[in-house]
């Protein structure tokens, strides 16, 4: 199958969203006005119709930085050479 389903979700990386919001009882959705200064992390996940998945994508705000991954979260020679 060459059909894919993709979903993205945004998250606040810290306590920025842990605030009380008052609203009318019985209303399912409450809205809170925010400002443009908050940071957001976006995660994108994708699955194929045959059950296989693509690698998740995580998007951070920023410039001039490197993100690396390893199986055990430790640095190794390969990561060190990529960094140089």
The two structure tokens encoding residue 47: 């699955």
Q: What is the model's pTM?
A: 0.58
Lateral strand order in the sheet of 41-48: 4-11, 41-48, 57-59
pLDDT at residue 82 in the model: 87
Does the pLDDT at position 59 exceed 70?
Answer: yes
CA-to-CA distance for 34 and 16, rounded, in angstroms? 10
Total domains present in the chain? 1
CA-to-CA distance for 42 and 20, rounded, in angstroms? 23
Each residue's pLDDT tens digit, 9-44 = 988 776 655 566 677 788 777 666 666 667 788 999
pLDDT at residue 32 in the model: 66
pLDDT at residue 84 in the model: 84
Give me the domain span that covers residue 30.
4-83
């Amino acid at each position: 199958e060459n059909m894919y389903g993709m979903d993205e979700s945004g998250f606040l990386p810290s306590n920025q969203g842990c605030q009380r919001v008052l609203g009318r009882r019985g209303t399912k959705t409450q809205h809170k006005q925010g400002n443009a200064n908050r940071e957001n992390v976006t995660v994108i996940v994708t699955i194929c119709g045959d059950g296989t998945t693509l690698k998740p994508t995580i998007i951070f705000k920023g410039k001039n930085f490197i993100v690396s991954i390893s199986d055990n979260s430790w640095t190794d020679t390969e990561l060190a050479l990529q960094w140089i």
